[in-house]
Structure 1
Amino acid sequence: MTDTSEARSADGTAQGARQSGLSRLMRYVPMIAPVLLWAVPCVVLLHAGQHWPLPVTLGGTALFVTGLVVMPLAMVRGHGRRQQDRAAVVGDTLLGASWVLFTWSVLLGVLLRLALTVAVAGVGDGQSRARIVGYVVLGVAAVLLAWGYHEARRVPRVRQVDVQLPRLGPGLDGTRVALITDTHYGPLDRARWSERVCETVNSLEADLVCHTGDIADGTAERRRAQAVPLGTVRATRARVYVTGNHEYYSEAQGWVDLMDELGWEPLRNRHLLVERGGDTLVVAGVDDVTAESSGLAGHRAHLAGALDGADPDLPVLLLAHQPKFVDRAAAGGVDLQLSGHTHGGQIWPFHHLVRIDQPTVAGLSRHGTRTLLYTSRGTGFWGPPFRVFAPSEITLLVLRSPQRPPAQP
């Protein structure tokens, strides 16, 4: 027993040391990441054998150093205590631009240089090939940023998905569920965009309209003008909403109260019943998984509370902001969970980092024997006003029953 206890104690000590080391390393990430985002493109474009004229080298280097200094300062002023929208726009835009430049400097700086060396060996010198790489990186980055800005600011396209739920009664076959999420109203005024999104949702003639959180960045009072169009959304059965993690950065209860004022039903660890054709669907919702750590009284993710009093034989549609809640949903017998949060990665290839924290990034997936999860790429965007290879969406989910009634002649 003593040897075992000592071994466990040693293992615990070792694990604690590893976690402590990881924690120390994570503290340096906010300092290291901006340096890498700006330094790598600077080296690839200016200092990798191009031998540009001295004024070009000095001027270009000065631009990258300026970006490295301005970006974190602007983000602190924009997203810190001061909450200065103009600073946030500058910082967020520089963050998106530096990420795209970094990504394609790494990919093309290595791959294209290697391809040119192999394919055109003996044609041109190293300086010429280095300059070609620089031109291509700048060109690709410029095109992707322009396209990505357009993708972020446009009204999302509607994505229709048929979802068969084995326990869904035939009377509920064809139930139309519209999903919007991660609207992220913020420093860039998108009141008109919000109106057009709501017009698109209304054109779907949905039975149920859901918003799975992250309405905005900022308090309800501050972003009210952008959120007010949500009050015009129509549904034949119900409009339901759950909190996202960003609500807990910005007085979450204020957003719950505003959505209630706009006619939406905040499903804070509770459910309602949707009846159609003699069959019933349980529509439940939970607070975001970060709610409890926010310290806001009465806010936490509580699935048992959300399903309390519901007939266990009825199918359950659950709203939960983060996909990773699906483990609890599957254990609780939920049939379909709707989530957002991931933005589909928003700017490629960021989705690889999202996968570290979430089980899925986008689309329909199965978890356990019964539970399906649909993860939306989001309706808006967070921070950088760009979407690259991760298009926004308004989702129309059409629920299907295996015992659907026969088609009318």
Structure 2
Amino acid sequence: MTETSDASDARSAADKEPEEPPSRLRRMMRYIPLIAPVLLWAVPCWVLLYGGQHWPLPVTLTATALFGLGLIGMPFAMMRGHGRRQQDPAAIVGDTLLGSGWVLFTWSVLLGVVLRLALVAAGVGDGEDRARIVTWAVLGVTAALLAWGYVEARRVPRIRRLDVQLPRLGAGLDGTRVVLITDTHYGPLDRARWSERLCETVNTLEADVVCHTGDIADGTAERRRAQATPLGTVRATRARVYVTGNHEYYSEAQGWVDLMDELGWEPLRNRHLLLERGGDTLVVAGVDDVTAESSGLAGHRAHLDGALHGADPELPVLLLAHQPKFVDRAAAHGVDLQLSGHTHGGQIWPFHHLVRLDQPTLAGLTHHGARTLLYTSRGAGFWGPPFRVFAPSEITLLVLRSPQGLTSSH
């Protein structure tokens, strides 16, 4: 394994890659803090209590008060937990209410319309009977999905294995094992034991290279050190490399760079390493997250030219970039394979569809441009709400295949 030096930070302004313009999702997100709490709690309240059910008055008043408490308590807890105070207990309460409210809202809308229409079409009961059936169906589905989603979020991720053929990969590198973990999001819920089991699972895969494509944690390195420390036990025969994600820039990114260095991980911050085997070479490169430049931290920015500076353009390139949307730049540079995370696979359906407004893909292997492949992992952990609904976590084992290696094996 050999390496290049960092690209000089003293480049002219003309050399800088353009800052990422605001996406449609990001523009929409500006208004979400104002309208989301009202929608999340008011819609289910109406569907479950005031849609023709005629519950006893004490039931209606008590349930309405609980919805009102959720409407007020969720944003208050979120602000205390994720704002300047960074109070973990408040964050846990706020995140749990957010996830619960989202699932309840989703199924109140779906079942409140679809099931009610189906009951009308089937001639089931009168208006009040149908309204009560909808209420109990919404509550049952919501409770089941939240219980299942919590188990899915807290479990050690399943291993996803796939072969990825790279046309320019030399036969000497055929069978190279690359393990991808991403979006561990160590946070308010203490997951130190989960982290240990995650790393133990990675070590069973006998990786040549282990990659972490960012969003290591929510919170500073000092606060999340105990949860992140097991990353130091991860084994790879050739390299352990990582890049920053957008959440590092919410939590003193340089502290995370320093801790990952202490744990023995190699930073690919706009630079590359060369993986050599059997007379063939693979460029393993990485860039800071696209939000890095707006963070104001000196030397932090996504700079692909810097990452590939000095590399032979004829060699195949494996690129680490936190967000899938960086693939447009990767394809323009002829990168062979980009590894990303960030999306969580949507985390809680149907948030999947909102993620697609901001990113070119949700999960899996996709083709971009003339030769660029993108693999997007659903991630190992979770952000905020401790639920994963129809978006299971993963540890990914990618076995790189050479056309020459495949030919010689037959």
Q: Give the TM-score of the pair, scaled to structure 1.
A: 0.93
In structure 2, give the amino acid aligned to 1:103: T
In structure 2, relative to structure 1, the CA distance for the partners of 1:42 and 1:145 (3 Å cut) is same
Aligned pair partner of 1:40 in 39, 43, 63: 43
Aligned pair partner of 1:59 in 44, 58, 62: 62
Aligned pair partner of 2:113 in 101, 107, 110: 110
Q: Return 399-408 or 79-88, whichever deviates more.
A: 399-408
Structure 2: distance between partners of 1:79 and 1:378: 21
The aligned residue for residue 362 of structure 1 is 363
Structure 2: distance between partners of 1:299 and 1:371: 25
The aligned residue for residue 322 of structure 1 is 323
Structure 2: distance between partners of 1:311 and 1:125: 74
Shift of 1:405: 5.8
Instruction: Please say if 1:380 is aligned against 2:381.
Output: yes
Secondary structure at the aligned position of 2:269 is classed as coil
Secondary structure at the aligned position of 2:356 is classed as helix
1:383-402 matches, within 5 Å, as 383-402=384-403
Instruction: Please say if 1:71 is aligned against 2:82.
Output: no
In structure 2, relative to structure 1, the CA distance for the partners of 1:386 and 1:24 (3 Å cut) is closer
Instruction: Please say if 1:81 is aligned against 2:87.
Output: no
Instruction: Please say if 1:169 is aligned against 2:170.
Output: yes
The aligned residue for residue 9 of structure 1 is none
The aligned residue for residue 100 of structure 1 is 103
Instruction: Extract unaligned runs of 5+ from structure 1.
Output: 1-18
Structure 1: distance between partners of 2:352 and 2:308: 32
In structure 1, give the amino acid aligned to 2:112: G
Instruction: Extract unaligned runs of 5+ from structure 2.
Output: 1-21
1:260-271 matches, within 5 Å, as 260-271=261-272
Deviations 1:314-351 (A, max 9, x none): 00000000000000000011000000000000000101
The aligned residue for residue 4 of structure 1 is none
1:168-187 matches, within 5 Å, as 168-187=169-188
| Moved segments of 4+, more than 4 Å | 22-27, 405-409
Relative contact order higher in (CA < 8 Å, ≥ 6 apart): 2
Deviations 1:106-138 (A, max 9, x none): 00000000000001x2x4211011000000000
Q: Return 232-241 or 25-34, whichever deviates more.
A: 25-34
Deviations 1:244-268 (A, max 9, x none): 0000000101101111110100100
The aligned residue for residue 14 of structure 2 is none
Structure 2: distance between partners of 1:182 and 1:245: 10
Deviations 1:248-303 (A, max 9, x none): 00010110111111010010000000111211100000000000000000000000
Larger radius of gyration: 1
Shift of 1:40: 0.5
Shift of 1:28: 3.8
Secondary structure at the aligned position of 2:244 is classed as coil
Structure 1: distance between partners of 2:111 and 2:176: 47
8 Å CA contact 2:26, 2:358 repeated in 1? no
Shift of 1:24: 9.7
The aligned residue for residue 4 of structure 2 is none
1:7-406 matches, within 5 Å, as 27-119=30-122, 121=123, 123-404=124-405
Structure 2: distance between partners of 1:138 and 1:376: 32
Deviations 1:43-68 (A, max 9, x none): 00000000001011111111000000
Structure 2: distance between partners of 1:185 and 1:392: 14
Structure 2: distance between partners of 1:161 and 1:27: 38
Shift of 1:29: 2.7
Secondary structure at the aligned position of 2:361 is classed as coil
8 Å CA contact 2:182, 2:341 repeated in 1? yes
In structure 2, relative to structure 1, the CA distance for the partners of 1:201 and 1:88 (3 Å cut) is same
Deviations 1:209-260 (A, max 9, x none): 0000000000001100000000000000100000000000001011011111
In structure 2, give the amino acid aligned to 1:207: D
In structure 2, relative to structure 1, the CA distance for the partners of 1:25 and 1:145 (3 Å cut) is closer
In structure 2, relative to structure 1, the CA distance for the partners of 1:82 and 1:279 (3 Å cut) is same
In structure 2, relative to structure 1, the CA distance for the partners of 1:25 and 1:386 (3 Å cut) is closer
- For these two proteins, the number of residue pairs brought into alignment is 387
Structure 2: distance between partners of 1:354 and 1:24: 13
* Amino-acid identity (%): 85
Structure 1: distance between partners of 2:325 and 2:346: 15
Structure 1: distance between partners of 2:307 and 2:64: 56
Secondary structure at the aligned position of 2:206 is classed as coil
In structure 2, give the amino acid aligned to 1:140: V
Secondary structure at the aligned position of 1:373 is classed as strand
Structure 1: distance between partners of 2:111 and 2:325: 34
Structure 2: distance between partners of 1:243 and 1:27: 24
Secondary structure at the aligned position of 2:314 is classed as coil
In structure 1, give the amino acid aligned to 2:53: Q
In structure 2, relative to structure 1, the CA distance for the partners of 1:125 and 1:375 (3 Å cut) is same
In structure 2, relative to structure 1, the CA distance for the partners of 1:234 and 1:26 (3 Å cut) is closer
Structure 1: distance between partners of 2:60 and 2:267: 56
Deviations 1:50-97 (A, max 9, x none): 000101111111100000000000000000000000000000000000
In structure 2, relative to structure 1, the CA distance for the partners of 1:329 and 1:408 (3 Å cut) is closer
Structure 2: distance between partners of 1:263 and 1:35: 46
